[in-house]
């Protein structure tokens, strides 16, 4: 028995002579939301297909609960949203979702699910008439069938407008609240930053980072940006604090997380000379650039 919803241990996969997955280790606890980031071709989709048992792995092990990928139990317990999903254009949304409900063996309220993803008006229209975003919503509706242990979402926000994206993350939160572990492969960094519990970054088939956002920032040692606005003389302030003057009235300082409090104390000690302080911790974008591009030995 394992208390993890998804366990991936030292998984390797070759495609021809290239190693597309290299010693990947990752685990998700029930209810955890994990973002899987990486460039195109970093191996995100391949990893997801390995978890689904759609493509064989050469080494290592994957477990969905206690089940091996592709087994009947594993397929009952995983939900999947493919990248740029499409369905047969001749079917209606209701018919397509009814098929998936029957295949999954779950008792499902098909109109209710379609309403949940905002497709109640298009229930009996052919999928051929749907927009890309609507097809994506239909794909999301089938993820909600049953109560999956693991949900694998490959680029779920592609083609969605900003409102739909918010709906999507609300649905992901619901899934997580009912105990489903959610793995989201994505390019939309600012979105996953606020909406996930953990970040995993892949680079050329290797897992180069796998931790919470704050731990990753600490690990990367990326500086915190402090912007201090002077009340009168910015040059004097810059000289005092040792930062760069960036415009007529502000000074910018970079400091490591450990030195942050010390710097703030110094700024506070300047009294009336400082009008305002703005602090920006490193963004996921900075982190992503650090981990996904840096050549690690």
Partner 1 sequence: MTRFLAITRTEMLILRRNRWLLVATLIMVLFALALTFAGSAPTGTLGVDMLTVSVASMTTLSVYLAPLLALMIAFDAIAGDVDRGSLSLLLSYPAGRGEILLGKFTAHLAALAFAMTIGFGTAGAVAAFFGGAGPESLMALVRLILTSILLGAVFLALGYLLSALARGATAAAGLSAGLWLVFVVLYDLGLLGAVVMDKGGTFTQSVFPWVMVANPADAFRLWNIAATEGVAITSGMTGAAQALPVWAAPASLLIWPVLGFALARLAFRKVEP
Residues that bind partner 1 (CB under 8 A): 49, 52, 54-55, 72, 75-76, 78-88, 90-91, 95-96, 99-100, 102-105, 126, 139, 142
Closest approach of partner 1 to the CB of residue 113, in Å:
15
- Rounded to whole angstroms, the Cα distance separating 286 from 214 reads 13
DSSP string spanning 32-92?
-EEEEE--TTSSHHHHHHHHHTSS--SEEEEEETTBPTTSHHHHHHEEEE-TT----TTSB
Pick 9 or 98: Cβ nearer partner 1: 98
Closest approach of partner 1 to the CB of residue 115, in Å:
21
- Rounded to whole angstroms, the Cα distance separating 263 from 132 reads 49
Backbone angles phi, psi at 162, to 5 degrees: -55, -40
Closest approach of partner 1 to the CB of residue 92, in Å:
9
DSSP string spanning 160-203?
--HHHHHHHHHHHHHHHHTT-EEEEE-S-HHHHHHH-SEEEEEE
Closest approach of partner 1 to the CB of residue 182, in Å:
15
Pick 53 or 243: Cβ nearer partner 1: 53
Pick 78 or 186: Cβ nearer partner 1: 78
Q: Does residue 245 contact residue 194 with C-beta atoms inside 8 Å? A: no
SS3 state of residue 214: helix
Pick 71 or 215: Cβ nearer partner 1: 71
Pick 127 or 234: Cβ nearer partner 1: 127
Closest approach of partner 1 to the CB of residue 231, in Å:
59
């Amino acid at each position: 028995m394992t208390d993890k919803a998804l366990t991936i241990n030292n998984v390797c996969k070759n495609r021809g002579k290239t190693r597309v997955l290299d010693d990947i280790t990752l685990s998700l606890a029930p209810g955890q939301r994990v973002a899987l980031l990486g460039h195109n071709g970093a191996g995100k989709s391949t990893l997801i297909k390995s978890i689904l048992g759609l493509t064989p792995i050469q080494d290592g092990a994957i477990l969905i609960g206690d089940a091996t990928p592709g087994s009947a139990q594993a397929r009952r317990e995983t939900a999947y949203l493919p990248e740029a999903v499409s369905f047969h254009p001749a079917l209606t949304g209701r018919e397509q979702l009814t098929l998936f409900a029957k295949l999954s063996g779950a008792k499902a309220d098909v109109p209710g699910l379609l309403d949940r993803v905002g497709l109640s008006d298009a229930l009996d229209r052919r999928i051929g008439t749907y927009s890309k975003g609507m097809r994506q919503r239909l794909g999301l509706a089938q993820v909600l069938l049953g109560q999956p242990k693991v949900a694998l979402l490959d680029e779920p926000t592609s083609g969605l407008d900003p409102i739909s994206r918010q709906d999507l993350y609300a649905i992901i939160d619901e899934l997580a609240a009912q105990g489903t572990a959610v793995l989201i492969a994505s390019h939309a960094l600012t979105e996953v930053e606020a909406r996930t519990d953990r970040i995993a970054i892949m680079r050329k088939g290797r897992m180069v980072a796998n931790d919470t956002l704050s731990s990753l920032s600490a690990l990367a040692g990326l500086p915190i940006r402090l912007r201090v606005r002077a009340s009168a003389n910015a040059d004097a302030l810059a000289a005092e604090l040792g930062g760069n003057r960036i415009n007529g009235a502000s000074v910018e300082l970079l400091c490591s997380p450990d030195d942050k409090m010390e710097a703030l104390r110094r700024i506070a000690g300047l009294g009336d000379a400082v009008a305002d302080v703005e602090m920006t911790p490193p963004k996921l974008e900075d982190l992503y650039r650090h981990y996904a591009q840096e050549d690690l030995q």
